[in-house]
Structure formats: structure tokens, C-alpha cells
Amino acid sequence: MFGLIGHSSSFRDARNTARDLGFEDLADGELDLWCSAPPQLVESFEVTSSTGKTIEGTYIDSCFVPEMLSRFKTATRKVQNAMELAQKRGINITALGGFTSIIFENFNLAKFQQIRSTLLQWDRFTTGNTHTAWVICRQVEQNAPRLGIDLKAAKVAVVGATGDIGSAVCRWMANKTGVAELLLVARQQQRLEDLREELGGGRILTLEQALPEADVVVWVASLPQTLEIDSNSLRKPCLMIDGGYPKNLDSKVMSEHVTVLKGGIVEFARDIGWQMMTVADMANPRRQLFACFAEAMLLEFEGIHTNFSWGRNNITLEAMEQIGMASIRHGFSALGIDPNTLNPQPLAA
Amino acid sequence: MASSLLDPAVDGTPVLDVELPDFTTEAYKSAYSRINAIVIEGEQEAHDNYISLGTLIPDQADELAQLARMEMKHMKGFQACGKNLSVEPDMVFAKEFFSDLHGNFRSALEENKVVTCLVIQALMIEAFAIAAYHIYIPVADPFARKITEGVVKDEYTHLNYGQEWLKANFDSSRDEIIEANKANLPIIRRMLEEVADDAAELKMEKESLIEDFLIAYQEALMDIGFNSRDLARMSAAALVA
């Protein structure tokens, strides 16, 4: 069995979901009430691969909402308790979705393995970042040519280049895709220097410097609320892959020359009998899902019960290839631009 | 998913390690006199309740008597914790604290309602105790910490006793469990509110007390046979003040 740990994208959404499920008390409750709510097993469902193999999965809502980010202890508890629940239910491999893995990583929760009477086994969990990184690279490779961008001559900016997903994307772009130049954007100078050395190339720039130069921009960082992008200063055409969380780039860029694609989203070959991706605002919630969730499914399909994606900057090209092959084999495809209309599918809904 | 341009609130590595309270202040001792009394009274009542349950389930009276003996041992351990800090437990407060729940247990006992008795004692009170002890352990004085760690292990077996019995009799117990839950969970919530300020003085947060209680309680309910929708519905009363 595989598991997915997710959460609502806002407190308002969480209340609406509670109301839809018939939990009026929760729906009417203030944030304080939600801070005390334990994780919930929301639903179980089956997924059948293109190979014919069927696996069973469970969706756990951690009852975390992004409004809790400023409450360090609360956010920590939500993540730890959801992980404990997944393990106690005997789930082999669980993906940490949305802010779950971000909180785990940034709050360094690997230091706290004992949760009440449960010793968390890290090999039951995955951040799903390897598959997310692979899917983002594939989205670049498949969609840039559709916009007339020749990747061999293109400059690709990676915003959040030193993060777990960002560095993996850079590695793949440098070694597998063969882009003309990588523009590396992140906050921490030393990590940027280290990354450039590892890649054997790439130019370190600020966001303001990189954007007007880039034919493709891969965002793998949450966008600061205050970020403003001058669409006129961007290359024409420009492909933007919104691989951060939450996915709100489309509200920042309004230009016919710029195509924004939701990054790290996959579409499955057939419908999945679940409800939860409606909550995640997917255009086709029966088939579309976060690539990190899909990684847990892939690991279960493949019988790889280990923390395939774990820690920071551990994603190898070999692991990306392995999960990428499995992704195709089992029926996932990276979300792309509709070639007929050149409108990105997720924005059409 | 990773992120580097993250909201500053999530970035960096805050310290999760807890700072121990000063066990010698008057404020701490005052709060401890009530919390310690609640724990002592709770263990005493648990002892009495398991003995009483033995009269309703005679074929398991021996096992229940054994559980009761454990509760007595815990009570003595917690009395020693109070003495160790030179604190006199406020037993009058504690009796009053438990009076509603105690009353409901006695009424159910008189009506031979085994299910209600088990829900109150073996599910609710045990889940409450497990939650409180888990949260207390990291902020306890070294003496009390050792004792409480020993107690927690036992309490799981008590929660488990009620769980197993109700699971074995789920079909015939279901409606009564729901009713007992409805009648008594708001009392548990009120008790949590009443103790919140004193608990905070001991560095135990109300928010996590409620969450940990619900985790233990929901886990028991799920094991007994309720589905996840039932759980959310049944536990709402513990969340709403």
C-alpha cells in the first residue's frame, strides 16, 4: 500500500472541504481549532498501471494549512503526526506532499524520529522530489520546441537552483538536455558557487538579471508575495514552468508571449477513483496529480520500498532516469501545452 | 518539494528542543498541586472503575483487577512525584474536576451499561492520560519523568483492553458508543480547558494536549470498527470549546 500526505491549500479551502464532507463543526471552527485537529485518513482507492498491476493507496490530510507556517510547533506536529499515522496504518511508502516535505526539510525534523510510542522509519517515506525534478525537465524538453524555442540555443534560468529539486533540474539540463546556458538563481551565494562548480558551468545571476535573458524559466521556489514581474521585459517567446508550491505564477505574469505551465504535475492514463485532487485545484482531478504523489505510486508499483527521495541534493541522474522510465511504463505523462491551441491545459479550466 | 525563496517564517532551523521549567518557583508548585492531584485522583478512580467493571464482566474480573492494581501502583508513583517537589496535591480540586465524568460512570454502572463504562474509563480517560503523560515527559523533572515513562507503557495496555472488548462486541455496542461519546466528550473538552492554564505553567500546551488526546482516541475508535468519517464526526466535540 502507498500513502499520500497532503493538506488544503488555504484555511478557507480547508473549511470548505470540511463543509462538503459534512463536518460543520470543523468548517465553522477558527484556526486555533484546526491547530488541534489530528491527521485524518480521508480516503482509500485503487490505481491500475498500464502494465495491468493494481495497487491500493490512502490519502492522509495532515490538517495543516499554510496559515500555520508561522506557528513552528504546530506545523511540526502536523507533519510528524501525519507521518506517524501513515506508518501505524502499515503503509509501505508515503509521499510528503505540498508543504509537508518543505517543513520536514527546513525544520530539520530528521532529528526527531521518536513520535510518542512510534519510532518513525524513514525508509517508509519519500519527498517525491526525484520524480518531480524529472517531470519538470521533461516539461521543458517537450514544450519549449512547441513554442519555437530551440533548447540547444536557449538560456534556461532555474530559480531556486540550489534546492533539492532545483539542483537536480540543473544537473539534468546540463548533462542530458544540453541547453545553451544555465542561469542559476538562488539566495545563498556559497551554495550557488558549489553548484556551479559541480555542474562545470552556468552563470550565477540575480532574479532581475536572469529573467530578461531567459528563454525558459523553471521556478522551483515559492514566490514571495511581493514579487512583481514586468512581462514586457521577458523574452518572446518565454516558457515558464511553475514548479514551486503553491502554484501561483500565472497570477504574476500576464502576457501572450509568455506561456506558464504548472510544473511537476503529471496526468495518468486513466481515471483514479479519488476525490482529493479536486481540492488541489487540478484541471482534470481524476487524472492529474502532483509528481511527488505519483512517485509513491511508482515506488509501490515497482516494489521499491525505500526513501527513494530523501534529504537535500541527493538526487542523481541515474535515479531520475529510473523513476522517469517507471513513470512512462506505468502510464504517467508530464502535463504539457495543448499543441493545437498552444494554451496550457491547466489554465483552460 | 523543496524551496529556496521560501516564506522567511519557514526558513532556517528553529530549535525544537524544549527548555525545562523552573520546578522550584511558587507558580510552578501551585500549578503542580492541581495537576498532580488530578493525576492521583485519576489513577484512584481508574482503580475503582476497573474493579467496578469486574462486577459487570465477571468472567474478566481477574484481568480487570490486575489493571486496577497497576493503576494503584501509578497513583503511588505520582504521590511520590508530588512529595519530591514538596507539593501538597489539591485533592478537593481534583475530585471536583472529575465529578461530572465520575457521575456519568456511576450512573452507567448502576444501569449495567458496560459499553458506556468502557468508553468513559478505558477509552476517554486512558487516551486523555496517555496524551497528557506523553506531553508531560519532555518537560517533567527528572524524578517524575522516570515514573511517568513507566506509567505510559501500562496505560497503553488499558486503552487496549477497552478497545479489544468493544471491538469484539462492536455490532451490539456501536450505538451506545456513539451515545456515550456524545454525552462525555464535551466533558473531556471542558476538563482540558479547566486545566489549560496550569498545564501551560508546566509547559504543556493545550493545543497539543487536545491533538494528542484525539490521536489516541481516534486510533482506538478506528481499531474498534468505526470508519474515518465516523471518527471525524465523533471527535468534533473535543475540538469545539
Mark yes or no for CB contact A36/B214 under 8 Å.
yes
- Taking the CA of residue A143 and the nearest CA in chain B, the distance in Å comes to 22
**Angle at which helices B206-224 and A72-88 cross, to 10°:** 20
Helix (H) or strand (E) holding A215: none
pLDDT average per 10 residues of sequence, chain B (241 residues): 39 57 96 98 96 95 94 97 97 97 97 97 93 94 95 83 94 97 96 95 95 95 93 87 67
The CB density around residue B156, as the number of other CB atoms within 10 Å, is: 15
- Taking the CA of residue A241 and the nearest CA in chain B, the distance in Å comes to 14
- Which residues of A are less than 8 Å from B235 in CB distance? 38
Q: What is the DSSP letter of A344?
A: B
Question: Region A4-17: what's the mean pLDDT?
Answer: 92
Mark yes or no for CB contact B240/A33 under 8 Å.
yes
- Residue A201 in contact with residue A222, Cβ under 8 Å? no
What's the grid cell of residue B13? Answer: 532551523
**Angle at which helices B206-224 and B228-239 cross, to 10°:** 150
Distance CA A276, CA B228 (A): 15
> Cis omega (within 30 of 0) on the bond before B58?
no
DSSP-derived 3-state class of residue A86: helix
Give just the sign of the alpha carbon dihedral B176, B182, B188, B192: positive
Q: What is the pLDDT of residue B17?
A: 63
Residues in chain A, total: 349
Q: Could you read off the pLDDT of A162-215 as tens digits, one per residue?
A: 999 999 999 999 999 999 999 999 999 999 999 999 999 999 999 999 999 999
Q: What's the CA dihedral at A182, A185, A189, A194 to 10 degrees?
A: -30
Mark yes or no for CB contact A187/B5 under 8 Å.
yes
Asked if pLDDT for residue A346 goes beyond 60, the answer is: no
Q: B13 touching A, CB under 8 A?
A: yes
Distance CA B201, CA B31 (A): 7
Q: What is the pLDDT of residue A263?
A: 96
DSSP-derived 3-state class of residue A202: coil
- The DSSP bridge partners found for residue A219 are A159, A242
> Which of B7, B49, B57, B20 lies closest to B201, judged by CA?
B20
Helix (H) or strand (E) holding B84: helix B61-84
Q: What is the pLDDT of residue A216?
A: 98
- Which residues of B are less than 8 Å from A74 in CB distance? 207
Pairing of strands A54-61, A2-6: parallel
Q: Could you read off the pLDDT of A327-343 as tens digits, one per residue?
A: 999 999 999 997 665 55
Q: Could you read off the pLDDT of A250-293 as tens digits, one per residue?
A: 888 878 899 999 999 999 999 998 877 666 678 888 999 999 99
φ/ψ of residue A211, rounded to 5 = -55, -45
The CB density around residue A110, as the number of other CB atoms within 10 Å, is: 12
Which positions ≥6 away from A112 have C-beta within 8 Å? Answer: A80, B16
φ/ψ of residue A228, rounded to 5 = -125, 135
Q: A130 touching B, CB under 8 A?
A: no
Distance CA A29, CA A24 (A): 8
Which positions ≥6 away from B175 have C-beta within 8 Å? Answer: none
Interface of A with B in 30-49 (CB under 8 A): 32-33, 35-43
Q: How many CB pairs under 8 A join A and B?
A: 142
Asked if pLDDT for residue A347 goes beyond 60, the answer is: no
Q: Which residue of B has its CA nearest to A101?
A: B1
Please report where in the chains the cell 555542474 appears, as a residue: A199
Distance CA A234, CA A239 (A): 10
Q: A61 touching B, CB under 8 A?
A: no
- Taking the CA of residue A317 and the nearest CA in chain B, the distance in Å comes to 18
The CB density around residue B165, as the number of other CB atoms within 10 Å, is: 19
A41: left (phi over 0), alpha (psi -120 to 50) or beta: beta
Q: Could you read off the pLDDT of A93-124 as tens digits, one per residue?
A: 999 998 999 999 989 999 999 998 899 999 99
Q: B156 touching A, CB under 8 A?
A: yes
